[in-house]
Structure formats: structure tokens, C-alpha cells
């Protein structure tokens, strides 16, 4: 994944912190920029999909591995 503008490390954090940290990072980003979020809480997979559906930001990719999940979200507005 190239063009990552911001990184959010939410590893080890439980719900709701991964989306809280993502949301806080988003407020400081420009439209069109991409954030990479890493989490270990597996509920982050359905949650990032729901979060993007609700907020309208674009979910580019989710990679779920045994030990961690990486998601890439583009700010759309």
C-alpha cells in the first residue's frame, strides 16, 4: 500500500478505542488522504466496515491476519 499519510496504532486496545483513535486522526487529515490503522481487537474487522459505511469514508482495504488487522481508509469529506 503506497501513499499512506497517517498511521494509527491501535494494537492492544479494546473497543471502542480503535475507532475513537481513527476518528481523532481523521479530523486532522485532508480530504483524499489515507490512514493506515493497525489493531489486534478482531471486532475491528466488522467495526471498520460499519464505521466507513456510517461516516462515508472509503475503506480501501482490510487485511486480517492471526495476530493483527490492518485497514486503509481514505478521507472523502
Please report whether residue 9 would count as binding other proteins according to CB under 8 A. no
The answer to whether 15 is a known catalytic residue is: yes
Cα 63 to chain centroid, rounded: 11
Q: Choose which of 2, 31, 54, 65 interacts with other proteins (CB under 8 A).
A: 54
- Active-site choice (4, 7, 14, 15): 15
Grid cell digits, residue 61:
482495504
Q: Choose which of 6, 13, 29, 60 interacts with other proteins (CB under 8 A).
A: 13
Chain residues in the site for other proteins (CB under 8 A): 12-17, 19-20, 22-24, 51, 54-55
Amino acid at each position: 500500500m503506497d501513499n499512506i499519510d497517517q498511521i494509527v496504532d491501535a494494537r492492544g486496545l479494546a473497543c471502542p478505542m480503535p475507532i475513537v483513535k481513527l476518528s481523532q486522526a481523521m479530523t486532522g487529515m485532508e480530504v483524499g488522504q489515507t490512514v493506515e490503522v493497525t489493531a489486534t481487537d478482531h471486532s475491528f474487522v466488522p467495526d471498520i466496515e460499519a464505521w466507513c459505511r456510517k461516516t462515508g469514508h472509503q475503506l480501501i482495504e482490510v487485511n486480517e491476519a492471526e495476530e493483527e488487522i490492518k485497514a486503509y481508509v481514505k478521507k472523502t469529506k
